[in-house]
Amino acid sequence: MLKRYKGNPILKPILKNSWEARMVFNTAAIYLDNKVHLVYRARGLDGGVSRCGYASSSDGFNFDERLDYPIFSPDPDNDYECLGVEDPRLTKIEDRIYMLYTAYGFVPGISRKVASIQLGMTSISVDDFLNHQWNWGERIYPLERVNNKDAFLFPEKINGKFVLYHRISPNIWVSYSDNLEEWKSAEIVMKPEFDWEYYKIGAGGPPHKTEKGWLLVYHSVDSEFNYQLAMAMADLNDPTKIIWRHPKPVLFPETDYEKFGEVPNVTFTCGSVVIDGTLFVYYGGADTVIGIATAEIEDILREVG
C-alpha cells in the first residue's frame, strides 16, 4: 500500500558532524507552517549515545534545511537518560508540541549499574519550535521505571482525557491522563495477531483523524526479525477499540538501504504527516538512513470499507 519515494534515502549520516556520523534514523514528523519538520534520532562516534537532529522540507520530499547541531540531547547528570534519547514522536496540542521519546539510562539508587529504558516526555512552544529556539520544558517520565517505549500522544483529548499509546512488549497499550503527568491506567489495545507480527508490535507516530477512525501506522517484528510497517484504525471515540487492521504488511524491508546497515532488515517509523490527502510516512532504513513512503488517504479508506 505504501509506495517508496524514488529519491530514498532522503537523509544519511554526515561524517563531518561527529554526533550524527554513524546513523540517522527513526524520525518524528510534524506538519507546521506549510513545512514538514523532522526530529530524527542520530548516533555518532561516541558509542551508542543517541541525540535528536532537525531537518525541514517545503514539499515533504526535498529537505533543504538541516541543522548541523543536535536540538535535543540526553542529560548526562540524569541516570534515567544519560545513555541516550531515542525514537522521538511529536504531537501538537494547542500551542505546544509534546515530544515522547525513549529514555535510555540506568536504574538510579541501587548498588550496581543496571541499564533501563522507559518513556520520557518534554514539550516546547510552537513559536519556539518554528523559530529554532530549542527551549524544551521539564523532562518527565510517564509510567516511571516501566520497561516501555514506542509512545505518542493523540492530537486531541478523547472523552475529556489525554490519550497515550505505548508499548510494553509485545503489545500496544493505552493510558489516560487529566494533566499529562499522572497516568493512572493501562490497557492492552493490540496484540500480535498475524504471523508477521510474531515477536512484537509497536506504535509508530501519532495517528491521523479520518472520517472512519484514527489511522495508525505501526511496526511489527516477525520470527526472522524483519521489522515491517503495518496499518490499523482505532475508533474515533474509543481508543481501546481497533476497528480495522490491514491483513498484510504495508512496507517490508526490500531495498539495500533497508536490508543492509547497522541493524539489517528494518523499516521503522516514528512519524507521518498528511498533505493534501497524501500520507507521508517517514521511516528508518536498517537503523542507518531515513526514507519516505506515501499512500493516498482515499485508497486507505477504501481498504477499511
> Which CATH number belongs to the domain containing residue 203 in this structure?
2.115.10.20
User: What pTM, to 2 d.p., does this model score?
Assistant: 0.97
Q: What is the pLDDT of residue 25?
A: 98
User: Which secondary structure element, helix H or strand E, spans residue 303, and what is its range?
Assistant: helix 297-304
DSSP 3-state of 68: coil
Q: Which amino acid is it at 75?
A: D
* All cell numbers assigned to 73: 540531547
- Mean pLDDT value across residues 284-293: 98
Domain span at residue 60 reads: 3-304
Identify the weakest region by mean pLDDT among 108-117, 231-240, 277-286, 288-297.
Answer: 108-117
Q: What is the pLDDT of residue 240?
A: 96
Q: What is the pLDDT of residue 45?
A: 86
The torsion of the CA quartet 187, 190, 192, 195, rounded to 10 degrees, works out to: 170
Q: What is the pLDDT of residue 210?
A: 98
Question: Domain total for the chain?
Answer: 1
User: Is residue 273 within 8 Å of residue 60, measured between CB atoms?
Assistant: yes
Whether a cis peptide bond, with omega within 30° of 0, leads into 253 is: no
Q: How far is CA 124 from the centre of its chain?
A: 17
DSSP state of 251: B
High-pLDDT (> 90) share of the chain, %: 96
Q: What is the pLDDT of residue 279?
A: 98
Q: What is the pLDDT of residue 47?
A: 77
CA pair distance 4, 293, nearest whole angstrom: 4
CA-nearest of 255, 295, 265 to 278 is 295
Q: What is the pLDDT of residue 184?
A: 82
CA pair distance 35, 31, nearest whole angstrom: 6
- Mean pLDDT value across residues 46-63: 95
